[in-house]
Amino acid sequence: MEQATKVPFLKKVTEFDKDGVKGEVRFILGNEQDVIVKMEELSAENTYHAAVHGVSQRLGDSCSAFSKDKDYASAYKALTELKDQLKTKEWNKEREGGVGRQQVEDLIEALSKLKKQDAEIVRAAVEKASPETIKKWAGNTKVAAEILAIKQKRANEAKKASNDSIDDIDLGLGD
């Protein structure tokens, strides 16, 4: 039996992605409908709002890996390093294996559990590994499954801690 190719619900393409167009963000739905936002068409106020929102998200993401252990020193370091980096022309800083800090932390946790090794021993191995090796490790089916379980656990914890209400979402369907 043939397996159907899973089509993502939404794909976002920016000028920094393959096939992206300068000054545009393209949103492609799984049914192939698309919406293109041209940055030049946004009002100055919304361009500024988008920039502030992006900086908020970017810095918040930079320290999220440290929240579980309440590692404020590392979070502060990540925040200040990224703040300084954003003053340059460099958006992404090449890090351990060319992947994000949270991805590296998840990989370390997964390998530590699966290999039954102390996390610091695994961390040392990951830090020494080439980007290709890290991608290979993360792509291992058992490792990838463990990483997904780690992400699901984190999502469940965030859901429990959240004060969000589903009642705040109006789908416009009427009562």
Q: pLDDT (tens digit, 9 = 90+) per residue, 48-103?
A: 999 999 999 888 888 877 777 788 988 898 899 889 988 988 776 655 445 667 78
The mean of the pLDDT values for the chain is 85
Report the C-alpha gap between 41 and 24 in whole angstroms: 10
User: Does position 134 have pLDDT exceeding 80, yes or no?
Assistant: yes
List pLDDT tens digits, range 1-59: 555 667 788 888 888 878 889 999 999 998 999 999 999 999 999 999 999 999 998 88
Give domain limits for the chain: 95-161
Q: What is the pTM of this model?
A: 0.50
Predicted pLDDT at 96: 43
Predicted pLDDT at 121: 87
| CA angle centred on 17, ends 131 and 130, rounded to 5° | 5
By CB neighbour count within 10 A (0-12 exposed, 13-18 middle, 19+ buried), where does 152 fall? exposed
Whether the CB-CB separation of 104 and 96 falls below 8 Å is answered with yes
